[in-house]
Amino acid sequence: MDEAVAQLRHLRVSPDKVRLVINQIRGQRVDQALLMLTYSKKQVAGAVKKTLLSAIANAENNLGLDVDTLVVSKAFVDQAGMLKRISPQSRGRAVRILKRLSHVTVGVSPKA
């Protein structure tokens, strides 16, 4: 089956925060998913929306699929690397702060 995929790599948001948004659009029709992302209160919804729009453009331009029949067939988030920072603490100690990054993958395919 034809499937168009788009990836967003090294997003500076924790994967757990992105999964809250991704889980809402998985399995939805493309127009409904775009509406959900447009009016979502989560800040990361804008980045996920750009990735979904890229997957739609890939399906339309590269595979010649009809946009009206597309469904979000797969959407998942993987953890990327981490930015390691150090925060000074009392008595000369230091605590490591891990700023997590995400890889977002969105795939669309025609409704079966």
Tens of pLDDT, residues 56-103: 999 999 999 999 999 999 999 999 999 999 999 999 999 999 999 999
Q: Is the pLDDT of residue 26 over 70?
A: yes
Give the count of domains, the chain. 1
Buried b (16+ CB within 10 A) or exposed e, 19-46: bebbebbeebbbeebbebbeebeeebbe
DSSP 62: T
Question: Residue 59 and residue 109: Cα distance in Å, rounded?
Answer: 8
Query: Residue 50: which CATH number?
Result: 3.90.470.10
Q: What is the pLDDT of residue 95?
A: 97
Domain that holds residue 46: 4-110
This prediction's pTM: 0.91
Q: What is the pLDDT of residue 1?
A: 66
Question: Residue 63 and residue 14: Cα distance in Å, rounded?
Answer: 32
